[in-house]
Amino acid sequence: MTVHFCTLFDMRYATRGLAMLESLHASFKGHMTVTILAMDDRVPALIQTMGRAEWKVLTVDMMGDAELITTRNTRPHREFCWTCAPAFSAHIVNQSKDGDLVVYVDADLFFFGSPQVLLDELADDGTILIHEHRYSADRLHYEPSSGRFNVGFVAFRVGDEARSCVSRWRQQVLDKCVLDPENGYCGDQGYLNEWPSLYPGLRILKNLGGGVAPWNLVTYTVGGDAAQPVVDDAPVVFFHYHAFRTVSVAGLAHIAAIPAWGYDFSKSAKRLLFANYASRIRKISYQARKAGFMTAADTSHPLRDAIRSWLGGNLILAI
């Protein structure tokens, strides 16, 4: 059995995507393929220079999905990226043989352990694997707008049910893929709410180590070490670096980072989950610049403001 991992990103998320893929290779020991959907014209050259030879890069045009191509000219870039995730997943599922696994992963994940332990929850009869947001109490009010489930890690066992699921999902986002919380639309993600009632083979992830993220982190006691953090004694398999922001200070690119914009975490959480990731992103950004690819920081701070933010615990150093 082959596990086909697929992800998509543009240059803004390229350093995160490269970090995610390298962490995947370091942790997953099964037979795998990796396919990247390039969301701008610069990503293919970056992957050719900094990626692995076995990684396959597709463009939207190469997928040959005429309906998807049409939406490129009618939707904002963010909404188009959301539209592409289900269409890309459907493309890979339809290109793969029955029994194989197709796993869509967001570019801003990072694997501390092998996702095989998560995929094992499909057992012999599961066809689709999704995970809940598991919002902390102070974030529960986001569920009606952002959905019960998160789209960052979605697995399909190729077969009739998986094909039916990705076909429906693709069509739904082609019809409408917007951020409209008042009416229950959250890009491609809100559509997952109906899946448990539609697909008998669907499994909801039980392992707490899959899907650790800013919106649930304060729920857990964080321990372990930077190489293998744990939450409530469960080893973190992947962390979702939603709202992570790289920061340039006084002209020094990517020298600091905001762990998660709009969130506040304990010192131990920042040390165990964010410090090494920030350093890794900075290193990849430096390598990209040396290779001729500009990777701008998400934001910049004057030195005085950066010192104030660091002293206040809102900024970490990426060194």
Q: How far apart are alpha carbons 73 and 90 in whole angstroms?
A: 21
Q: What is the mean pLDDT of residues 82-96?
A: 98
Tokens of 301: 């701070």
Rg of the Cα trace of the chain?
Answer: 19
Q: How confident is the model at residue 13 (pLDDT cuts 50, 70, 90)?
A: very high
Q: What pLDDT digit, counting tens, does each position of 192-238 carry?
A: 999 999 999 999 999 999 999 999 999 999 999 999 999 999 999 99
Q: What pLDDT digit, counting tens, does each position of 118-175 carry?
A: 999 999 999 999 999 999 999 999 898 899 999 999 999 999 999 999 999 999 999 9
- Set out the domains of the chain in order of their start, with CATH numbers: 3-211 (3.90.550.10), 243-319 (no CATH)
User: Is residue 294 classed as helix, strand or coil in its secondary structure?
Assistant: coil
Q: What pLDDT digit, counting tens, does each position of 256-312 carry?
A: 899 998 898 999 999 999 999 999 999 999 999 999 998 888 888 777 777 777 767
Write down the pTM of the prediction.
0.95
Q: How far apart are alpha carbons 61 and 189 in whole angstroms?
A: 24
Choose among 185, 13, 219: nearest CA to 105: 13
Say what the pLDDT of residue 311 is.
66
